[in-house]
Structure 1
Amino acid sequence: MSERLTAWFPESTKPVHQGVYLVRTDNGTFWRYWDGKKWRWGRCAADASPTCEWLANKGIAIDQDVEWCGLVQEAA
């Protein structure tokens, strides 16, 4: 795991802050946007930058119960 990322959190724990997080789903590992209540779709593969294009104003992701991790510190 990258030193820039936190440990993986379980599906039952949701992020405290809104923002972009790396999530693991049955279909792979992706960047998603957490709006404070729901995961939203993104257009980013796991190896992309967490600041890449995301679709926070678009659809809610189908799979809401996902493992996730975030950046150790806020992106510049």
Structure 2
Amino acid sequence: MQKRSVSIAKHRTSVSLEEEFWDILDSISTENNTTIPKLLEIIEKKSDKQNLASAIRVFCLNHLSDLIKKR
């Protein structure tokens, strides 16, 4: 488990995720020419106020699922 402090929409927060999820977020942000904080801002806006770490995990799993379906 890795805890990181990030700025999302002008507020600081800490997020604890398994290293594998941070790696996935890094790959997604690189693919989309953006930063992890900007990606987390998008996830947070779409999360319906659920736990941010859970929303991030679901986002990453959905991304991987989409990649598998495209094969």
- TM range, smaller chain: under 0.3
Which TM-score applies when normalising by structure 2?
A: 0.28
Which TM-score applies when normalising by structure 1?
A: 0.27
- Structure ranking higher in strand proportion: 1
| Greater Rg over alpha carbons, structure | 2
- Structure ranking higher in helix proportion: 2
> RCO (CA 8 Å, sep 6+): is it higher in 1 or 2?
1
